[in-house]
Amino acid sequence: MATPEITSSVTPPPAGWAKRLPLDERLFLWLVLSSVVVMTGFVLGWLYLGKQNVPTNTRATAPGAFSAQVAAFAKRYGGPDGRVYVPPGTDAYMLASRFSWYPELVLQSGTRYRIWLSSADALHGFALVSENINLEVAPHHEMGAWITIGKPGRYLIVCNEYCGLHHQDMQGYIDVLSPAAMQTRLHAIAATKAGGGTAARPGAVGALRLHVVGNTLAFDKKTLVARPGRVTLTAANSSPIPHNIAIRGNGVKLEGAVVTNGGTSTVSAVLKPGVYTFYCAVPGHEAAGMRGTLTVKA
Ligand code: CUA
């Protein structure tokens, strides 16, 4: 049986056409392959040795619950200057909200702390300037970041997620003291607290009362009137977002403590007749509308 002759329009290549790649091509291939191996090794190695991975301690929370935790922590370890002195070995808490970090922490240098972070409202960023820490902070999630700061000093926290009109004003601080200075402060604070000095608040009797409206950036009143003499303003805040009450005008400038979650901020001053501004001094809040006029007249 004769094989039928096959015809093709393509001329087959001559014998010996498949040559080995020239040297430069082979060199290039090896360079590509070895750099893939090196870079893969670098990525995997960095995961374990780079010490710049996002914290894996995370849990679900709610803005109200987290804010209550922050308030309890701030009350327990708060010093007379309003900052919170965190004893070594204690977990710290910080709440991000438009447009502040609360509270201001004081840590001991060279000591490893776990700081729990969450947000009361929008997405924020926690970047500790000059340290290699840069985290995203979202509401309904809390994240425990381990932080060790070697040198005493004042460290700036900036927000690096756009969170609203005053995003650029959002900053906070962590102060770091040497172990000796920290221990002195902790003992002094413990002594004050043991001595029954539980914040003998200036009597808020007859005070002009304000309250923060829900979770908004607003007080319930825009105008207040008082007689000359000692004037006390209080602002109750039932929201998870930190606020305070402050007053300025005619040479007076005073700020009450920042409070959250059912706390009341108080400010008290002797005022002459005139027009004053009351406001919330948390960054961005006054501009957002948390302000009003206090008229003092006989
Ligand atoms: Cu918070 Cu930007």
Residue whose C-alpha is closest to residue 290's, from 207, 220, 201: 220
Cβ < 6 Å from ligand 1: which residues?
Answer: 124, 159, 161-163, 167, 170
Gap between the Cα atoms of 243 and 279, Å rounded:
10
3-class SS at 43? helix
- Phi first, then psi: what are they for 68, rounded to 5°? -65, -40
- Phi first, then psi: what are they for 259, rounded to 5°? -130, 160
pLDDT tens-digit readout, 13-44: 777 777 788 899 999 999 999 999 999 999 99
**What is residue 283's predicted lDDT score, i.e. its pLDDT?**
81
* Ligand 1 centroid to residue 296 C-alpha, Å: 37
The sign of the dihedral angle between the CA atoms of 128, 134, 137, 142 is negative
Least-confidence region, from 1-5, 116-120, 131-135, 212-216: 1-5
The DSSP bridge partners found for residue 28 are none
Whether 60 shows a pLDDT value over 50: the answer reads: yes
Q: How many residues comprise the chain?
A: 298
pLDDT tens-digit readout, 261-284: 888 899 999 999 999 999 999 888
pTM here is: 0.71
**Over the range 226-257, which residues count as b (16 or more CB within 10 Å of their CB) and which as e?**
beeeebbbbbbbbbbbbbbbbbbeeebeebbb
* Ligand 1 centroid to residue 125 C-alpha, Å: 6
